[in-house]
Amino acid sequence: MGATLDLSHKNSGTVPPASGVATPADAPASKINLMGLTREGMAQALRDFGLPEKQIRMRVGQLWNAIYHHGLSDFAEMTTLSKEARAKLAEAFVIARPEIVVEQKSTDGTRKWLLRLPSDKPGLPGPEVEAVYIPEEGRGTLCVSSQVGCTLTCTFCHTGTQKLVRNLTAGEIIGQIMIARDALGEWPHSGRNSSDRLLTNIVMMGMGEPLYNFDNVRDALDIVSDGEGLSLSKRRITLSTSGVVPEIVRAGEEIGSMLAISLHAVNDETRNKLVPLNKKYPIAELLEACRNYPGLSNARRITFEYVMLKGVNDSLADAKELVRLLKGIPAKINLIPFNPWPGTDYECSDWATIEKFADVVNRAGYASPVRTPRGRDIMAACGQLKSDTVKARASDRFKTEKAEASETI
């Protein structure tokens, strides 16, 4: 407690940013963000800063606990460190979350945050992503983004119409969870005990394809599940992929979270249209990779997501084929009503059709498969993330342009 930070080996005042490490929009670029560094990464950053080897383990432990267990972002509040150590660390490091641009709360309790990330282009605002919190009976799930935009072009997904801007760093992925815990008042100093947590589950189902940002997603989820940090078990974390086959087994080995597959069709012809990545990794290969997913058992099933699109993939024959295809794989099926977005040609299947489809699936032994849309009033549903903001901005711009035009007339 309070041991002094020995800085006698300290090199020149500031340190250059480690590659891939985010600094907040308003922080000097020379400061390193500790959030999102692995324990080894943090140890190396302290070593580079000049901390003697014998202190590193202890300092990493103290910082880790302060950042992830207590949710602190200001060194001045870290009373386990000496005053001198706090001041020195603050010269070189920051603990930064993404900037909150807007927070919205739905009438059903769903919350959505529009977050701005640090800009790579001087003078221009940084890119934006969204995170969504969905409270349910006895649990609360945070839907986290892994990329700004997406390289894949699934035809029913609005993110798919937005070009990939960049991958999120591990710190930016974790930052979404930190922001949700801040808002929910879930740190020890807020008095809530850990047994009645509001944020109990994480789904990597926001913007982007997590397996195309593998290393950062892996590092972030390792930190999230670290028992001395956020301490959320990997069994409560689900990674959703559109089917990047070569990375699926690797995800099982290196990430070890629960897996969700965006299947959405039962034959290659339809899936090629909905999820063009299918042309590269067709259904048979995808399901083979699922069968080989490490640790699979009846207690650890793969979730197959299936978006209900009117007249495209919602026939009874499709439902029967779905059940046939998944035979032998410990599986859950999640039927997702399609969330329309401006400009899409797809429509959501009728409710009666969804129910008939669900009956077939239920009779085959898969329970409660329809995912109810949440947070509709704030457009917080799958595949709608960010799009409303872009749209709102466009309409704001239109209003401004109209106002300016009328002034000049």
Give min distance, CB of 154 to ligand SF4, in A: 3
**Among the residue ranges 152-160, 224-232, 285-293, 313-321, the one whose residues contact ligand SAH (CB under 6 A):** 152-160
Half-sphere exposure of 123 (CA within 13 A, CB side): 0
Tell me if 303 contacts ligand SF4 by CB under 6 A: no
Rounded Cα–Cα distance for residues 159 and 297 (Å): 32
Given 99, 128, 130, 247, the catalytic residue: 130
Tell me if 168 contacts ligand SAH by CB under 6 A: no
Q: Is 247 a catalytic residue?
A: no
From the list ligand SAH, ligand SF4, none, partner contacted by residue 141 (C-beta under 5 to 8 A by kind): none
Among 85, 95, 142, 205, binds ligand SAH (CB under 6 A): 205
Rounded Cα–Cα distance for residues 188 and 282 (Å): 47
Angle between helices 39-49 and 53-64 in degrees, nearest 10? 130
- x/- site string to ligand SF4, residues 223 to 252, per CB under 6 A? -------------------x----------
Q: How many degrees, rounded to 5, is the angle at CA 283 between CA 279 and CA 288?
A: 125
Rounded Cα–Cα distance for residues 122 and 163 (Å): 20
Strands 258-262 and 166-167 come out as unpaired
Tell me if 154 contacts ligand SF4 by CB under 6 A: yes
Of the pair 59, 386, the CB lying nearest ligand SAH is at 386
The residue at minimum Cβ distance from ligand SAH is 383
Give min distance, CB of 232 to ligand SF4, in A: 23
Q: Is 130 a catalytic residue?
A: yes
Which two three-digit tokens encode residue 142?
A: 């945070």
Q: Residues near 132 by Cβ (< 8 Å), separated by ≥ 6?
A: 110, 111, 112, 113, 142, 143, 206, 375, 380, 385
* Residues within the interface to ligand SAH (CB under 6 A): 154, 156-157, 205, 209, 240-242, 262, 305, 307, 336, 338-339, 341, 382-383
* Residues with a known catalytic role: 130, 382
